[in-house]
Amino acid sequence: MKDRLPPLISSILESYNQIGGINNIDGTNLPSKRAITQICEDLLQILFPGFHDEEPIATGMVPQITSGRILSIADRLRVETCKSLRLNEPECPSRRADQMVLHLIGELQPLRELLRTDVEAAYEGDPASTCYNEIIVSYPCVEAIAIQRLAHILYRERLPLIPRIMTEWAHGRTGIDIHPGAQIGSHFFIDHGTGVVIGETCRIGSHVKLYHGVTLGARSFQKDEEGKIKKGGKRHPDVGDWVTIYPNATILGGETVIGSRSTIGANVFLMESVPPDSLVRNERVFTSIVSKKNRPSDLPEPLLNYEI
């Protein structure tokens, strides 16, 4: 078999010369996804001590362990931050990298207070939850929201790549896709979570509850004279305080505002604003329920055999 590999290798090498746009040869050393992943896991240990550790942590060891972890995170994040900054500035401004890392570390304490409100919202919003411990250790929304809130801090500092790597790591683990640019208030709860998409320019108030499959997305994109998509601008909806959005609702557009205390029903498709205290729902679709044993003869055979 080995004697058949050289021509295959040659064809791959030749593609490096012919196919552009997906190579980074002789370019800037990009941030390591593996390193960012490990930093995310370590940050979760700082935010939720004892919940992401394989061994119990004794109270007396907490200061030493926490100090060691933060020092390690700071060193490794500084290296990856410099790699990111070099994308736009060949010579990494070390002082700016230091400032970004210190800013993130400085935000961890207030971030813990904010995450506690998210855990409270999950406990109050899910009758199946039994305690805070269960929520922190097992609910995917806690991890996804925690990582997004961390990434948002770096996003505000205009750090390239790393914030998106962080949230896509969480997306892969939880099925919840929240762009690091999204602004999210306190007491945020995503029940079940799978398939939730929240776009970059979303602004979400406090005490908001989303169910699985909710999309807060953009409408069709505007294009320039060359037919290329225009970047930037407000593209995603705003959601007020105390809003509940039920499964598989789709809300699109940068001008769309969901007023506070509103409820959006399941499977609703919205591209327009709704005032506060609104209930938005689809009109009931007629559903027929008949006996399988005593079906009227005039009913057609049900189409129950299908493939996906």
Residue 289 lies inside a defined structural domain of this protein: no
Q: With the C-alpha atoms ordered 227, 228, 229, 231, is the resulting torsion angle positive or negative?
A: negative
pLDDT given at position 297: 64
Report the alpha-carbon distance of residue 179 to residue 125 in Å, rounded: 23
Residue 138 lies inside a defined structural domain of this protein: yes
Q: With the C-alpha atoms ordered 57, 59, 64, 66, is the resulting torsion angle positive or negative?
A: positive
pLDDT given at position 23: 59
Report the alpha-carbon distance of residue 271 to residue 248 in Å, rounded: 15
**Edge-to-edge strand ranges of the sheet holding 215-217:** 177-178, 197-198, 215-217, 250-252, 269-270
CATH number of the domain bearing residue 60: 1.10.3130.10
pLDDT given at position 305: 45
- What is the per-residue pLDDT across 189-226, written as a single tens digit (0 to 9) for each? 999 999 999 999 999 999 999 999 999 999 977 777 77
Residue 111 CA: distances (Å) to CA of 115, 148, 152, 172, 210: 6, 11, 11, 23, 21
Residue 203 lies inside a defined structural domain of this protein: yes
Residues 164, 168, 170: CA angle, nearest 5 degrees: 120
Q: What total number of domains does the chain contain?
A: 2
Q: Do 278 and 167 fall within a single domain?
A: no
Can you give the residue range of the structural domain that contains 270?
Answer: 195-283
pLDDT given at position 307: 47
The token pair that represents 261 in the structure block:
């205390």
Q: Do 79 and 201 fall within a single domain?
A: no
Which residues of the chain have a pLDDT value below 70?
Answer: 20-28, 294-308
Please state the pTM of the whole predicted model. 0.87
Residue 237 lies inside a defined structural domain of this protein: yes
